[in-house]
Amino acid sequence: MHSIGYHLIWCPKYRHPVLVGAVEIELKRILAETCIAYDWELEALEIMPDHVHLFLQADHLTAPVTIAKTLKSISAVHLFNKFPKLKARKFWGSGLWSRGTYYASVGHISEEAIRQYIETQKDRE
């Protein structure tokens, strides 16, 4: 059995602070359900108004870029369907997420440090 931990961070386009309220709640649900569907173990998740922090465990055959693309594409479709005004107001003619994603594998710092960092994001504002 293989399991690799990844810390992923990504932002909405133009870093619009739209991941609040009902959008934040729905995004957490979508990301958790997607991780279950793909057999990725979600360890920690925090949604900030303008970015997402996620720590998960995946098998060694799944590239981190594939994980990020999957989570970003599925969540964008769901959020735009559930919140059509979101697309019309801020993201007309484009997708929800910026192209970039931060990737780090767990190893050079401890899992606990990553978990604590993600879980205390809102305390840093």
Instruction: Respond yes or no: is residue 102 known to be catalytic.
Output: no
Which residues contact residue 93 at a Cβ distance below 8 angstroms, ignoring those fewer than 6 apart? none
Determine how many CB atoms are found less than 10 A away from the CB of residue 49: 16
- Among 14, 102, 103, 117, which one carries the catalytic annotation? 117
Are 45 and 118 within 8 A, CB to CB? yes
CA torsion angle for 19, 115, 61, 76 (degrees, to 10)? 0
Q: Which residues are catalytic?
A: 117
